[in-house]
Amino acid sequence: MPQTKFQKLMFALITVIITVPCFVFYCSSYEAGEFNIEVIKNSLVFIPIEFILAYLCEIFIGSPLSIRLALKAIDPKKNDHMIVETAIICATVGIMCPLMSFLATIIYNGIIAVGINGAPLNNFIINFIPYWLQKVVLNFPFALLSQLFFIQPLTRTIFKAIFENNNALDTDKQLVGAE
């Protein structure tokens, strides 16, 4: 798909624009025990900070590592491009879900709970690993399924619509060049 640095940044931007609200609403509704307009209103404040963190993590960590990891398991010359794309999506989720869950634990259980709501700091420190692991376990199935069946197909459709006149949208060439 993306060939140039600009296209890679745009692809990551489109992905994050779609992904972050989905995850903020998902996590907030899980914490609230329901999904309603109040959850949406209360969640809107977190979207900008998570957007910035997710975009930076995706362009500097998630995308480069996931392509390398996927290409160790799948040979784009021997496998169908859908298999290669699926491997990259799975690798990205495997990297980004624990990373973003780590950051969310710091934000929600640390900064907000301790700094804003006055929860005891020692409780956060002692329970950091369990809080983080719980977030990973709760987020991973949603992350994997939403990325495979909704977010990445939509992202690829939008990306192709924006860059359809560009002749360099061959996934196999991009993946082979990424090695």
Question: If pLDDT is split at 50, 70 and 90, which confidence band does 167 have?
Answer: low
Distance between start and end Cα atoms, the chain: 15
Residue 25 confidence (pLDDT) above 90? yes
Q: For residues 85 and 152, is the Cβ–Cβ distance under 8 A?
A: yes
Residue 17 confidence (pLDDT) above 90? yes
Q: Position of tokens 């392509």?
A: 67
Query: Roughly what angle, to the nearest 10 degrees, separates helices 47-57 and 81-104?
Result: 130
58-62, 94-98, 169-173: range with lowest mean pLDDT:
169-173
Residue 172 confidence (pLDDT) above 60? no
DSSP state of 34: S
Mean predicted confidence (pLDDT) in 98-105: 95
pLDDT of residue 176: 47
Question: If pLDDT is split at 50, 70 and 90, which confidence band does 179 have?
Answer: very low
Mean predicted confidence (pLDDT) in 53-61: 96
Mean predicted confidence (pLDDT) in 30-35: 89
Query: Roughly what angle, to the nearest 10 degrees, separates helices 5-32 and 47-57?
Result: 140
